[in-house]
Structure 1
Amino acid sequence: MSDATYDRNYWEERYSGHGSDHRGGHGHGALEANPHLASETAPLEPGSALDAGCGTGTDALWLAGQGWQVTAVDIAENALETARARAQELGAPVAGRVHWQCEDLTTWQPPAGGYALVYSHYVHTDAPYADLYRRLAAAVAPGGTLLVVGHHPDGLHGDAAHAGHHGTQLTAQQVADLLDAGEWTVETADARVRTATVGDGREITLHDAVLRARRNTGR
């Protein structure tokens, strides 16, 4: 089992210089969203969104390009510095829709009911996954959507440092089980396989857990 500790120092070092985006499959110049994000948000009307663990900003900027007003949160200032530079290259219409915020998802509590979409993709923290996803779920507004993409246990991430670390591998059903059935409607809970190109040009196979749930509006 990996003894990696996903604290601020770990991520600052990982994103120092031209550090890679840990989400996998995105270069710094691309604005091609994670395929699960693109497919699962296609039916949604743009509104307010939280990208929790945004890395160098690919998915946050893609959402902004689709008309979402995005709060993009990451623990590493080095990652956010790269993300802000990428946003400026895209111009004011996109850059103006993203607010970059440095927070530690291990402890950060987002505003309750604050977002129409809460999205996390390959989030690695030292917090127990149940605690993390309950806090993210609480940030979804009534009628809004929680979208979680994680590493499914059937596969190994391209970065060996992530393999076997607690909380980095889980099924969509494990996330679904954290949600109150009376408050949430689970719309997607899948295991999916895809290929992605990493920074050195290699193609790798990723086994993803994808959870999309809608928070019910109540009576």
Structure 2
Amino acid sequence: MTTAQEFWETFYSERDQVWSGRPNPLLVREAERLTPGSALDIGCAEGGDAVWLAARGWRVLGVDVSQVALDRALKHASDAGVEISVEQHDLAATFPEGLYHLVSAQFLHSPVELEGERNRILKRASEAVAPGGYLVIGGHGNAPSWSPHHDMHFPTNKEVLDHLRLMDNWSVITDDVVTRPIVGPEGQEETRQDNLLTLKRLF
């Protein structure tokens, strides 16, 4: 069985650049109104979100299972004239230390994910939020018809909240489903839904 690290190292090594380098709109929507502090970007990929946060004054640690992706994130930051830190983690096995004013988990989906792995990672992410800090979770709600993963189950916000089992020291700031148009490789026009949760740890 292919491990998560093997899969993602191969995924990134096959192309010089996979993602656009721009930040995820869901994170931008939520984080642009926050006061910068320390931020943890889990599954940071090539650093689009981490670099955007750093440019806004956040002290950012980006974490990913792929060293290829992390190397690109560091180069992206250097090219943009900002500093970020990175650590390589298979989040199902290890997690960075410390507490953060913002923990971001954007599109933490994987075709080699083990059952329940994402839930455990998000629970650990919630534990890394400092009092007064925020957890922003963005995830797909469905897949387009042309995707090989169109029959994959994408958790709803309610399912995510049920698995997190947060105590009463948390408040739900945003619970939203965002619909956006997408165009397929052969010009197919469809819509895709993304789920967005922003949670604040009160104390």
Does the TM-score normalized on the shorter chain lie above 0.5?
yes
Partners of 1:199 and 1:20 lie apart in 2 by 16
8 A contact 1:6–1:124 mirrored in 2: no
Matched, 1:42 2:32: yes
TM-score (norm 1): 0.80
Matched, 1:82 2:72: yes
- The higher relative CO (CA closer than 8 Å, separation ≥ 6) is in 1
CA separation of 1:45 and 1:85: change in aligned 2, threshold 3 A:
same
Partners of 1:37 and 1:158 lie apart in 2 by 25
How many residues align structurally?
197
8 A contact 1:176–1:189 mirrored in 2: no
Partners of 2:192 and 2:12 lie apart in 1 by 22
Matched, 1:18 2:16: yes
Matched, 1:120 2:105: yes
Partners of 2:43 and 2:135 lie apart in 1 by 14
CA separation of 1:136 and 1:18: change in aligned 2, threshold 3 A:
same
Q: Which of these residues, 107, 117, 126, is aligned with residue 93 of structure 2?
A: 107
Superposition RMSD in Å: 2.6
Identity of aligned residues (%): 35
Compute the displacement of 1:82 (Å).
Answer: 1.4
TM-score (norm 2): 0.85
Where in structure 1 are there 5+ consecutive unaligned residues? 22-26
Compute the displacement of 1:204 (Å).
Answer: 6.5
8 A contact 1:20–1:199 mirrored in 2: no
Q: Which amino acid aligns with 1:18?
A: D
CA separation of 1:131 and 1:164: change in aligned 2, threshold 3 A:
farther
1:62 corresponds to: 52
CA separation of 1:196 and 1:140: change in aligned 2, threshold 3 A:
farther
Compute the displacement of 1:160 (Å).
Answer: 2.7
1:160 corresponds to: 147
Partners of 1:89 and 1:20 lie apart in 2 by 17
Compute the displacement of 1:200 (Å).
Answer: 10
CA separation of 1:158 and 1:50: change in aligned 2, threshold 3 A:
farther
8 A contact 1:48–1:116 mirrored in 2: yes
Compute the displacement of 1:199 (Å).
Answer: 9.9
8 A contact 1:110–1:135 mirrored in 2: no
Partners of 2:5 and 2:146 lie apart in 1 by 18
Matched, 1:180 2:146: no
CA separation of 1:176 and 1:158: change in aligned 2, threshold 3 A:
same
Where in structure 2 are there 5+ consecutive unaligned residues? none
8 A contact 2:174–2:196 mirrored in 1: yes
